[in-house]
Amino acid sequence: MKFKSKIFTLAALAFSTSLNAATITNGSFEDDASTGYFIPTGWSWTGPGTPQILNLLTPSGKDGTYYVEAGDTGNPTYGTLSQTVTDLITGHNYELSFLWGNRYTGVGNEAYDFTVEMGGIIFSQSGTGALDFAPGAFNFIASASAHDLNITWNDPGVNAYSDGALDAFVLSDLTVPLPAAVWLFGSGIIGLLGIARRKA
């Protein structure tokens, strides 16, 4: 009886771990399947203008078809794109990873100046010129069950068609390694199959 109880506890923990994982909505900006000036699904915007969803080849190496940028002179955009991520586990160590780069059209200085912030940690980049997507990441400890993810484009003070491009936002819980969750889930399934076989 104790063995059965342990198996059920392990299975419940495995299911709980998989079901309570915090995720970022539309982190690759693919949900709208279109380009243009609009606020992408799952995000909110504070500031003048609207961000731009693009599927250009530059910067290259993007995740999926689309990515987001701001600062275009055709629709001056300086502000914050954000969303609230829920189901975080207080005290857990999370990694936020993403891609960042900058488009260059040969018009103006093409300066970029942006920050990515979550859980009180800030990743910032500024400079000029074209950049293919490069990986960015940082870790934070969740102090609550929900945290805002903020992407802020700052006015670089020059005529820039692009002020930084971002893509592929992924949140990973480093406190509960995936192999452990898989082992727990597998143990639960094996235990349940053994119980069913005994009853048969």
34 has a pLDDT exceeding 80: yes
Q: What local confidence, expressed as pLDDT, does residue 58 receive?
A: 87
Confidence label for 16 from pLDDT (cuts 50, 70 and 90): very low
Say which CATH architecture domain 25-172 belongs to. Answer: Sandwich (2.60)
Report CA torsion sign: 120, 59, 154, 66: negative
Residue 197 has a pLDDT of: 65
Residue percentage of the chain with pLDDT more than 90: 57
pLDDT at 108: 61
Region 143-155: what's the mean pLDDT? 96
Residue 71 scores a pLDDT above 60: yes
Query: How many Å apart are CA 150 and CA 136, to the nearest integer?
Result: 14
87: closest CA among 23, 149, 32, 156? 23
